[in-house]
A and B are shown apart, each in its own frame.
Chain A
Amino acid sequence: MDSYAILKLVWAAILGILFIGLGTMVGMDMGVGTLLRFVGRNDGERRTALNIVGPHWDGNQVWFILGGGAIFAAFPTLYATSFSVFYVVMILLLFSMILRPVAFEYRSKADSRHWRASWDVAFLVSGTLPMFIYGAAFGNVLEGVGYHFGWTGQYYQDESFLSYLVNPFAILCGLMSVALSVYQGGVMLMLRSEEPIHGRARRYAMRGGVAAAALFAIGGVWISRLNGFRLTDANPGMPANPIQGQHVTVSMGGWLENFHAHPALWLIPLLGIACMLLGTLMVRADRPVLAWWIGAGSWACTIGTVGTAMFPFLMPSATMPDQSLTIWNSTASAYGLACMLVVAAIFVPIILSYTSWCYYVMRGKVRTADVIHDTHSY
Chain B
Amino acid sequence: MELINPDVVDLSRFQFALTALYHFMFVPLTLGLTFMLAAMETVYVVTGRQIYKDMAQFWGKLFGINFAIGVATGITMEFEFGTNWSMYSRFFGDMFGTPLAIEGLMAFFMESTFVGLMFFGWDRLSRPAHLAITYLVALGSNLSALWILVANASMNMPEGAHFDPDTMRMQFDSVVKVIFNPDAQAKFVHTSVAGYVSAAMFVMGISAFYILRGQHKAFAARSFRMAALFGIISTVAVITLGDVLGRLDYEHQPTKIAAIEGLWHTSKPPFEPWLAFALPDDARQENHLEIGVPFVLTPLVAHSFDTPITGMTELEEQAGPHIASGIQALSALRRYGQGHDPADLAQFRAHEADMGFGFLAMRHAPGQDVTAISAAEMDSVVRQTEPDILPNVFVTFWSFRIMVFLSLWFFAVFALSAYVSLTNRLERNRLLLKLCMWSIPLPILATEFGWITAEAGRQPWTVFNRLPTFLSASSHGVGYMIFSLAGFALLYSTFIAAELFLMFKYARLGPDHGAHGAQGPHLTVAHDRKDAFSIASSLSS
Contact = CB atoms under 8 A, between A and B. Distances in A.
Interface of A: 54-59, 61-62, 64-66, 68-70, 72-74, 76-77, 79-84, 87-88, 90-91, 94-95, 97-102, 104-106, 109-110, 150-157, 161, 239-241, 243-244, 332-333, 335-336, 339-340, 343-344, 347-348, 351, 354-355, 358, 361-362, 370, 373-377
A19 to B, nearest CB: 15
A58 B75 CA distance: 12
Given A83-B79, A91-B484, A373 B65 contact: no
Contact of A373 (B102, B121, B483, B519): B519
A155 B86 contact: yes
A340 B98 CA distance: 7
A376 B517 contact: yes
A69 B87 contact: no
A74 B106 CA distance: 17
27 contacts: A54-B116, A55-B120, A65-B75, A66-B105, A69-B97, A70-B104, A72-B101, A73-B93, A74-B101, A79-B81, A81-B90, A83-B82, A84-B83, A84-B476, A87-B480, A91-B484, A98-B72, A104-B68, A105-B65, A150-B2, A151-B337, A154-B87, A154-B475, A336-B172, A340-B102, A361-B117, A376-B122
Given A101-B71, A156-B2, A375-B516, A84 B82 contact: yes
B94 A336 contact: yes
A102 B93 CA distance: 29
A156 B83 contact: no
A373 B519 CA distance: 7
Given A55-B116, A332-B94, A375-B519, 5 more contacts: A59-B109, A87-B480, A151-B338, A154-B475, A156-B2
Contact of A339 (B65, B175, B514): B175
Contact of A87 (B76, B476, B506): B476
A362 B124 contact: yes
Interface string B243-260: 000000000000000000
B502 interface: yes
Contacts of B117: 55, 358, 361-362
Contact of A358 (B116, B471, B491, B514): B116
Contacts of B68: 101-102, 104-106
A355 B113 contact: yes
Contact of B119 (A70, A106, A343, A376): A376
A103 to B, nearest CB: 9
Contacts of A84: 82-84, 86, 474-476
Interface stretch (B30-38, B160-168, B190-198, B451-459): B160-168
A374 B518 contact: yes
B310 interface: no
A73 B178 CA distance: 14
A305 to B, nearest CB: 26
Nearest to A355: B113
B79 A76 contact: no
A62 B112 contact: yes
Contacts of B1: 150-151
Interface string B107-141: 01110111111011110110000000000000000
Contacts of A239: 164, 166-167
A333 B505 contact: no
Contacts of B110: 351, 354
A79 B97 contact: yes
Contacts of A110: 501-502, 505
Interface string B507-539: 000000011111110000000000000000000
B7 interface: no
A79 B89 contact: yes
B115 A58 contact: yes
B168 A152 contact: yes
Given A110-B502, A240-B167, A241-B167, A66 B109 contact: yes
Interface of B: 1-2, 64-65, 67-69, 71-73, 75-76, 78-79, 81-91, 93-98, 100-106, 108-110, 112-117, 119-122, 124-125, 164, 166-169, 171-173, 175, 334, 337-338, 471, 474-476, 480, 483-484, 487, 491, 495, 498-499, 501-502, 505-506, 514-520, 541
A332 B97 contact: yes
A-B pairs, 6 with minimum CB distance = A76-B93, A83-B82, A73-B97, A105-B68, A59-B113, A72-B97
Contact of B172 (A54, A332, A361): A332
A88 B483 contact: yes
B116 A76 contact: no
SS class, residues of chain B in contact with chain A: helix
A333 B484 contact: no
B105 A97 contact: no
B87 A152 contact: yes
Given A83-B86, A87-B480, A105-B65, A56 B116 contact: yes
Nearest to A83: B82
A199 to B, nearest CB: 26
B495 A76 contact: no
Contacts of B334: 151
Contacts of B64: 105
A377 B120 CA distance: 7
A55 B120 CA distance: 7
B386 to A, nearest CB: 22
A69 B78 contact: yes
From B68, B89, B101, B121, name the one whose CB has the most chain A CB atoms within 10 angstroms: B101
B171 A102 contact: no
A361 B119 CA distance: 13
A88 B102 contact: no
Contacts of B124: 361-362
A358 B113 contact: yes
Nearest to A361: B124
Contact of A106 (B106, B480, B491, B502): B502
A333 B172 contact: yes
A344 B105 contact: yes
From A54, A77, A104, A343, name the one whose CB has the most chain B CB atoms within 10 angstroms: A77
Contacts of A61: 112
Given A76-B89, A105-B67, A94 B76 contact: yes
A139 B522 CA distance: 53
Contacts of B502: 106, 109-110
Nearest to B517: A376
Contacts of A87: 83, 474, 476, 480, 484
A79 B82 contact: yes
Nearest to A375: B514
Nearest to B166: A239
B98 A73 contact: yes
B219 to A, nearest CB: 17
Contacts of A339: 98, 172, 175
A351 B105 contact: yes
Contacts of A65: 75, 78, 104, 108
